[in-house]
Structure 1
């Protein structure tokens, strides 16, 4: 695996979203389009000259990076039909989260949701597609049919980490959790469950952001408006999935009541800081080594309602705002400073490469590149309708985007 590969959501376990080795591109052109058996909600992965993508049809594909031709494909089961779910907006429901590649075992890991509301972890040989690991990994609490696995998988020190949330509509009996399994064999699972009676989903597309021996997750709203129940928070988990630290805003009860929680955005790691935003539109700066409990932020500012995952370069955060990307900086004292707000209504999760910010307007089906210093549009190209929270993969000299019909590759002429 090289530094130009893209083995996990936003390139690395810190979720920086930066392709540092990508050269500047010329005029954007569509290099190829691969029509697959369902929508691709997760970011494609790129290892060497192969692109890996997983669909809501519960099929995992390896594609030639140069042409989009299928190298191998494995159909792992029948996806869960929408008619069998208590609510939701993905039909059928198959593989939604971004997969993760493990260079120690040469496996690509995916979490498939199958008919019967089963949640199955799969490890496939990246070279051949042979299934080397297949085991049930069910959420530890709540009704299985009410649990959706949208957050990106994380591979860390021989284990795969899987976060669970609920369906669109927050229906049914679900409780947010993180489960981990060994990358090899059938060793015991580890788990952490949000200590709420219901909800508290972990569903932000970026999953956990890793710094040192901590995994940082954002947690959605819970049901309590009286006693704090661990929801509407940023949590730091140890690798054994015991709770190391936690933050919640003083507005947590109102956030729970109004569905204005932090759970919509993966925490961003900015040097010694954690930046957290969410549906309320307030951005919080936390100390990574001491999140501070309730009201323990270093600073807070109105930034924007944010959904998805951010990109981070140095002290700059490119924020995935609902009304278009923004750039902010966090100074040495942990204070937030606004740099720019792009004049494009592109609510996808931005990434940085080739001297440009790349962001998707999923409804309009447009991929934009922006000037990282000003937010001005440099180029744009039609890619077809993309899923909510879509984010480009940048590898070598191309961008790869999951759409509702497959994968599109964009290069520079």
Structure 2
């Protein structure tokens, strides 16, 4: 055993390849049945300083914004690390290490400065697409962005493993040791047709996990949110199910947004009902900390939206100052709501034709940067309240943005990272990177940007 640990430590030390800039991942893994201490290393210093990034878009409102970051004149490639699968989840930064989840059902900690593997924990065997009734990720492993809990020092993630089934795992952030795992499939749900794409949320001493369906909407699935306490994750789950006969997935990659009171806001997809009483699909719903349905909103045309697959679930809800909430979806119509009184069917404060949006938006005060399919769009919430359309990026620059200082960072998934002037949309800098998934979104710590790709992670520096 001591010899194995020594060999693993040597692999970590030699993980980077200075000539190619590509780090080779270690082969270490941790058994589900027997949690084992992982390989540890000295925590590296973050490039340019800065704080950690422990959840999707950095905070529970999913703002994706850090003030005081210098604006770039250029972007410089730092390193590229290839891992055991595609990275759909947003990379996190915990204790100065990059935490990455892959479709290979692995969690990694990487050196922020060089990309070398510090520890690697595999939690199961991912599910081949050929064994599923539909979908578009092959294989299917960890898709939703994990979350870090400082109280327990655990990184929580949901992995789809062979069976299939969904496992909630807790991994020690420092060592990679697997501290626990449990089934997190909601009662009565068919794991084959439920996909966990939404980012996990940490609030109220609980981990919240949302479910939608596979690409193609096959099978008997319904949108659900489940929750377990962080201090006793083996406790019985709290569960909310969208009250529709079928579909109504909660799948936006941003996951639930959480307000100061601990209430959750989720966007819900098209449901099976296309006439009669509203089934709470094509909606924004507010859930209590214990997952009781408190309130909801749906467009007046929710039934026809359902019939045409033009629902609101493609974008995560955006919480705004002054108690407002913004949502847009596949129909191209954006809605401004009052978070404390969502208004039911047709209860919006304002609506405007803006764009069809997919992924997670970024927000700075009352200005939103929306991942429109035809290019990131700036929208200002003015008094009234009113939606005021601003600049729009070219159609290829349509990933889920974040903001650092006065710069918007966004990915063109065919292989480029852009830095855009926050006020004008003008391109400050561009860097070629490896191809990414449709919903890839950068992470920013200090002067370092991190992006998950279809084969691992790339890092760039603001210069």
The question of a shared fold, defined as TM-score above 0.5 by the shorter chain, is answered with yes
| SS of match in other structure, 2:399 | coil
Equivalent residue for 1:221?
A: 270
Equivalent residue for 1:406?
A: 456
> What are the ranges of 5 or more consecutive residues in structure 1 without an aligned counterpart?
none
Equivalent residue for 2:365?
A: 314
Within the candidate set 354, 363, 385, 1:303 is matched to: 354
Do the aligned partners of 1:22 and 1:394 also contact (CA within 8 Å) in 2?
no
1: CA distance, partners of 2:222 / 2:394: 38
Within the candidate set 368, 386, 395, 1:335 is matched to: 386
Equivalent residue for 1:205?
A: 253
| SS of match in other structure, 1:83 | helix
Equivalent residue for 2:308?
A: 258
1: CA distance, partners of 2:374 / 2:208: 31
Which piece of structure 1 moves more, 60-69 or 345-354? 345-354
1: CA distance, partners of 2:339 / 2:70: 32
Do the aligned partners of 1:25 and 1:354 also contact (CA within 8 Å) in 2?
no
Q: CA deviation at 1:167?
A: 0.5
Equivalent residue for 2:202?
A: 155
Q: CA deviation at 1:3?
A: 6.8
Q: Are the structure 2 counterparts of residues 318 and 128 from structure 1 closer, same or farther at C-alpha, using a change threshold of 3 Å?
A: same
Do the aligned partners of 2:193 and 2:221 also contact (CA within 8 Å) in 1?
yes
Higher Rg of the two aligned structures = 2
Which piece of structure 1 moves more, 137-146 or 87-96? 137-146
Q: CA deviation at 1:122?
A: 0.5
> What are the ranges of 5 or more consecutive residues in structure 2 without an aligned counterpart?
1-45
CA deviation profile, 1:113-170 (whole Å, cap 9, x unmatched): 0011110001111000111121110033442100000000001122100000000111
1: CA distance, partners of 2:189 / 2:204: 28
Q: CA deviation at 1:412?
A: 2.9
Trace 1:266-305 onto structure 2 (pairs within 5 A).
Answer: 266-271=316-321, 272-305=323-356
Q: CA deviation at 1:24?
A: 3.0
Equivalent residue for 2:292?
A: 242
2: CA distance, partners of 1:189 / 1:142: 13
Trace 1:2-401 onto structure 2 (pairs within 5 A).
Answer: 4-185=51-232, 186-212=234-260, 213-226=262-275, 227-271=277-321, 272-362=323-413, 364-401=414-451
Equivalent residue for 2:7?
A: none
Q: CA deviation at 1:198?
A: 0.5
Which piece of structure 1 moves more, 18-27 or 254-263? 18-27
Do the aligned partners of 1:139 and 1:147 also contact (CA within 8 Å) in 2?
no
Do the aligned partners of 2:399 and 2:410 also contact (CA within 8 Å) in 1?
yes
2: CA distance, partners of 1:32 / 1:344: 27
CA deviation profile, 1:81-105 (whole Å, cap 9, x unmatched): 1111100000100000101011111
Do the aligned partners of 1:159 and 1:183 also contact (CA within 8 Å) in 2?
yes
2: CA distance, partners of 1:87 / 1:410: 35
Do the aligned partners of 1:3 and 1:21 also contact (CA within 8 Å) in 2?
no
Q: Are the structure 2 counterparts of residues 195 and 260 from structure 1 closer, same or farther at C-alpha, using a change threshold of 3 Å?
A: same
2: CA distance, partners of 1:188 / 1:21: 43
Which piece of structure 1 moves more, 382-391 or 252-261? 382-391
